[in-house]
Amino acid sequence: MLIAWWLHLSMSDWAVLLLTIALVWTAEFINTALEAVVDLASPQQHPLAKVGKDVGAAAVLIAAFTSILVGLLILGPPLWEKMKIIFLK
């Protein structure tokens, strides 16, 4: 977030970044809740319990990769311009 402040991003860019961060946190919280419920419902190992946990973890992974792409799309171009100005002086 410090980089976004340093780059003087627009309010809409800030909103997208904050929503993306919230998406990753939400996915992680839902995954944690899902794992707790699966553990409660099926204390012994079960193939379907494993599938449920794996799918929850995959959702978090997808959210994390998406956040990386959003960050690169929003922060990349202005950061590249700043770096060119700094290093080409």
Residue 11 is part of a domain; what is its CATH number?
Answer: 1.10.287.3610
Q: In this predicted structure, what is the pLDDT of residue 77?
A: 96
Which of 13, 24, 28, 49 is labelled catalytic?
28
Mean of pLDDT values over 42-48: 90
- Say whether 28 is catalytic: yes
pLDDT at 15 > cutoff 80: yes
Q: In this predicted structure, what is the pLDDT of residue 88?
A: 86
User: What is the per-residue DSSP string for 23-77?
Assistant: HHHHHHHHHHHHHHHHHHH--S--HHHHHHHHHHHHHHHHHHHHHHHHHHHHHHH
Percentage above 90 pLDDT, the chain? 88
Q: State how many domains the chain has.
A: 1
Domain housing 47 = 2-87
Confidence band, pLDDT 50/70/90 cuts, at residue 51: very high
pLDDT at 18 > cutoff 90: yes
